Amino acid sequence: MGWKLLTRRSTLIEAQHCANLLESIGIRAQVRNRFLAGALGEIPQVEAWPQVWIPEGQDEADALARLDAASADLSGRAPPWRCMSCGESIEPQFAACWQCGATKPEP
């Protein structure tokens, strides 16, 4: 199976975060160019950035849209959710209540 470039990120942490988000929503992803920063000066800066790759059969526009949606859920733009067990208000990036451990309800 072949792979295609989806996006570049300025840091390895950002690229791995994108790959993790994609994997969490069912889209296979690989991070490449993990160690290319040592070549800065020999190649353009953007070319040395870590890259996120997806399978060739995956729709790029759909993957980017789903990545943006998943990122929005974690960025604080999504509203807090209320725990159904204890009523605590929980920040959107958490999947379980910090007070009682109940899981976040499905949307």
Which residue do the tokens 């451990």 mark? 101
Which residues constitute the domain of residue 102? 79-107
Number of separate domains in the chain: 2
Element at 93 (helix H, strand E): none
What is the reported pLDDT for 4? Answer: 96
Q: Are residues 68 and 83 in the same domain?
A: no
Q: Are residues 8 and 52 in the same domain?
A: yes
What is the reported pLDDT for 73? Answer: 61
What is the reported pLDDT for 75? Answer: 57
Q: Tell me the DSSP string of 27-92.
A: ---EEE-TTGGGGBTTB-HHHHS-EEEEETTS-HHHHHHHHHHHHHHHTT-SPPEE-TTT--EE-T
Series of mean pLDDT values for 10-residue runs along the chain (107 residues): 91 92 92 75 76 94 87 68 93 87 86
